[in-house]
Amino acid sequence: MYYFCTKRPEHYEMNRYIFSFLLFFSLVPCLYVTAKTNDSQSVARQTPTTLLENGIISAVERYNAGDFTGAVRLLEDIIAADPSVDAAHYYLGLCKVAENDIDAAESELREATRLDSSNFWYRYRLAVLYSVTGKEELTLAMFEDLVKDFPKKYELYYNMVELYMASGQEEKALETMDQIETVFGESEMTVMARFDVLRKAGREDEAYACLEEYNKEYSSPQILTCLGDRKLSLYDEEGALEYYNEALAVSPGYTPALLGKSEVYRMTRKYDEFFALMKEFIRDENVTAEGKSRYLAMLTASSGQNFTRIFQDRLDSLVSECEAMYPEDSTVYFMAGQYYFGTGREELGLERFRANAEKYPASLAAAANYAKMLMYAKKWDGLAEEGRRAYERFPGETAFLELAGMGDYNAGRYGEVVDIYKEILTVAPRDSAKTLQAYSALGDVYYQTGEKGKAYKAYEEALDINPDYAPVLNNYAYFLSLDGKKLKKAAAMSRKTVEQEPDNATYLDTYGWILFLQGKADEAKPIFKNAVMLYGGKENVEILDHYAEVLFSLGEYDLAFLYWSQAKAKNNGEIADLDARVALRKSQMNSLREGKRK
């Protein structure tokens, strides 16, 4: 179900505190300068009045220029000369925020407020700082006092509403909404804010009742659309259509109502009307390229494969028209690329992602998206090439090197994979996450090329970084089991992986197989049973084969050959000798049974 109602007015954003805090502390207003000082020594040569005025002006200039150290030095000199200068404490608090010294910032803002409790901005910024640092009770108390002292400050009430909601005081939040309407009058914004509070409190019927009450006297496309969305969510398509049409009568082309109406047509299978409205939506110049792209992406992703298949030509037309309107927009490239991938046309999808990456060579996201889609399409040569090219543009992003390594690995260029991971070790020697991954990959590649000594050494390096890293523990243990060496060590490592992820069929297979090789088939059987029956192991040829071997060793021949038959049906070359080995086991079984009869 889609909802197109505007969420809440700008004054009622849940992240408002943090936004206000960062905005204020990054944009201190510049002061009109009539005289200027250059350093703390020149400050000391002036009269007290000039020193204070020009010292603060100079400190603010330095703050705005990003010279926080210089600003702090000037302000501290002023405070040392006269601790009662509230403005110096205030601006010093701002500087301390910029330096991320929150304790000092709070201390200075608190002192400024103490010295001049009538100053709204001192108290307001201190309240914002309390909010950002999670001191809810102090924040709420300060805002309550601010509302009493500055009843005409509109934004304070919405701050209060958010704080009450965050602390679970829903009734207090609603009482504050009453205050807003008493002081400023009822408006679309106040009604939408009340609606949001009621919905967050789980009082859906009351929330929509307040919209309906407002709608009796005033016409608002936003509120009408919200009411339409409500009807649509209750599968009252006719009622929804009435509200959407009314919203469009008030404001022709109002996008949320237009999309709501189109959704009614889609749900009632009036597809000609639906696609006609979609054309209107795509051609609407008041809607951003990003808005159109998001909706088309949502539409194709959520409508189901049948809808996309049946109406592919019409959807193609919408996507093409959007591309034609915005031939250089990154969000449109991305939407079109995803669309073509989703409809099985990988080459067209890759063309869009490649064009986006070439059009915006400085965009990390564009490069990453193109590389990711090459990986999904299994274009290994292209992935190796693009990964290296992207790394040249973004030398700090070793993930591109790893993608290049994936391309080389799948293309069988193991030597180049080794070179890539050695380079990662060189450029990021202190990044434990990257070095862990590098040693892990090197171990896998070295084993693949038959360099077992190097493989095991690389695994040891990885485990020195993280002794509990399950992928390395599993691969190291399994390769040791294939060699028939150090089975006790292999079992200990494999046991760790199973303890970490008891529902991982691959890890269960490794542990069960090592137990089997140690002659503990009875212990291995339940582990394999869980892997196959509960955790998806029945889709893995090797796990089925291992389980069958365990069952055969226990004399459960019929069950063993049942799993071998499943393994043979799924085997696409993963186990080259499977057929011959199963035939051998069948011959052995016959011999054993014949021997028993004799």
Q: What is the pLDDT of residues 292-309, one digit of tens each?
A: 999 999 888 878 888 999
**What are the residue boundaries of the structural domains of the chain, listed by start?**
1-134, 478-597
pLDDT, mean over the chain: 86
- 3-state secondary structure (DSSP) of residue 51: helix
Spatial separation of the C-alpha atoms in residues 120 and 139, rounded to whole Å = 14
Domain 1-134 matches domain 478-597 at the CATH topology level: yes
CATH class of 478-597: mainly alpha
Torsion angle of C-alpha atoms 538, 539, 545, 546, degrees rounded to 10: -70
CATH class of 1-134: mainly alpha
Spatial separation of the C-alpha atoms in residues 329 and 287, rounded to whole Å = 14
pTM (two decimals)? 0.64
Sign of the CA dihedral with 117 first, then 120, 122, and 123 last? positive
- The DSSP line for 125-153 is HHHHHHHHTT-HHHHHHHHHHHHHH-TT-
Residues 289, 304: contact at Cβ < 8 Å?
no
Distances (CA, A) of 526 to 17, 513, 520, 550, 554: 55, 12, 11, 10, 12
Q: What is the pLDDT along the chain (598 residues), one digit of tens a residue?
A: 333 333 323 333 333 333 333 334 443 433 333 333 344 444 444 445 555 777 888 888 888 888 889 999 999 988 998 899 898 999 999 999 888 899 999 999 999 999 999 998 898 888 888 888 888 788 888 888 888 888 888 788 777 777 777 777 888 888 888 887 787 888 888 888 888 888 888 888 988 998 998 898 888 999 999 999 999 999 999 999 999 999 999 988 788 898 899 989 999 999 999 999 999 999 988 889 999 999 999 888 878 888 999 999 999 999 999 999 999 999 999 999 999 999 999 999 999 999 999 999 999 999 999 999 999 999 999 999 999 999 999 998 999 999 999 999 999 999 999 999 999 999 988 899 999 999 999 999 999 999 999 999 999 999 999 999 999 999 999 999 999 989 999 999 999 999 999 999 999 999 999 999 999 999 999 999 999 999 999 999 999 999 999 999 999 999 999 999 999 999 998 899 999 999 999 999 988 877 766 5
